[in-house]
Amino acid sequence: MSFWQGKSVVVTGGAGFLGSYVVEQIRARKPGRLLVPRSAQYDLRKEGDVVRMYEDSDADVVIHLAATVGGIGANRRNPGRFFYDNAIMGIHLIEQARLSGVEKIVVIGTVCAYPKFTPAPFKEEDLWKGYPEETNAPYGLAKKMLLVQTQAYRRQYGLSGIFLIPVNLYGPRDNFEPAVSHVIPAIIRKCIEARRQGAESVTAWGTGRPTREFLYVEDAARGIALAAERYDKPAPVNLGSAREISIKDLVKLIAELTGYEGRIEWDASQPDGQPRRKLDTSRAREEFGFEAQTDFREGLERTIRWCQNNCSWARG
């Protein structure tokens, strides 16, 4: 806890899904000051705004979560924007961090940076052994360049930058908008709406055969806070739950938990995305004592309950 004492902490993207939980974790650790720069005041794609953000915050510690994100559909429609926004925000943030004498910067990467056919479980050493799955490659590679930047800046300027790779996240306060949502919120919404409307079937994307690993968002936020406090090395670190589930089984489980009893149809004309995703999570455990705690079923139940209490589309 003494790591945070008297420090000025900036959490970019701190009003977003993951960011809101990271802010809760940091606030509980009582830093000197905590700033969440919103995009309306500081467009972090613009160098001048990033410079102003550092001047205004006098940051000691930066946790960089701000990003342009979305599911497979959003990635396919916006490959250029996903590449540019994510690369340029990180490049300015890290460059201005060193110029303004920041003590530590924590950069959040993504599992989409891994090569398409990485042997499971994905080890951090395998990050460079191939090209990512095509639909999310521009996003994944833009973020992977920030790993290179933190490593280069550590070598040349002694900047203490670390790079974390969270697997797919889920939990309350996720984005349930169909145009941008990831698989869990997309399926929860489809099942709840189908049940409410008495629909006979819901359609899920792809074949259902790929596997995914999911980390409850609160666990991810705790992992990020622990890494900020305890980890200071150039090597990237996976943040995951080490639990793999096929999309088919995931959809069945969400149908059961939402009370949807109709048919599930698969639209195989839509992409499956990466065939398999499961992380090796041993480095996070060994280096900063992080292990996921939330049971998957319990995490899904909390997420569904949150929708029922907070989303107009989920209420009768």
Ligand X SMILES: NC(=O)c1ccc[n+]([C@@H]2O[C@H](COP(=O)([O-])OP(=O)(O)OC[C@H]3O[C@@H](n4cnc5c(N)ncnc54)[C@H](OP(=O)(O)O)[C@@H]3O)[C@@H](O)[C@H]2O)c1
Which parts of this chain interact with ligand X (CB under 6 A)?
A: 12-13, 15-19, 38-39, 42-45, 65-69, 108, 110, 166, 168-169, 175, 182
Report which of 123, 124, 117, 189 is spatially closest to residue 151, judged by C-alpha positions.
Answer: 124
Query: How large is the greatest C-alpha to C-alpha distance in the chain, in angstroms?
Result: 61
- For the chain, what is the radius of gyration of the CA atoms? 19
Pick the catalytic residue from 21, 42, 54, 139.
139
Nearer to ligand X, 194 or 206 (CB): 206
Q: What are phi and psi of 255, to 5 degrees?
A: -60, -45
- Structure tokens belonging to residue 285: 């455990």
Residue nearest to ligand X (CB): 16
Strands 8-12 and 168-170: unpaired
Closest contact distance (angstroms) between CB of 233 and ligand X is 20
Peptide bond preceding 185 in cis form (omega within 30 of 0) = no
Least separation in angstroms between residue 205's CB and ligand X is 16
Provide the minimum distance between the beta carbon of 198 and ligand X in the complex, in angstroms, as a whole number: 31
3-state helix, strand, coil in the chain (%, to 5): 50, 15, 35
Smallest separation (angstroms) from ligand X to the CB of 143: 6
Which is closer to ligand X, CB of 39 or CB of 196?
39
Residue with smaller CB distance to ligand X, 221 or 251? 221
Concerning whether 170 is annotated as a catalytic residue, the answer is no
Residue closer to ligand X (CB basis): 143 or 190: 143
Active site residue ranges:
139
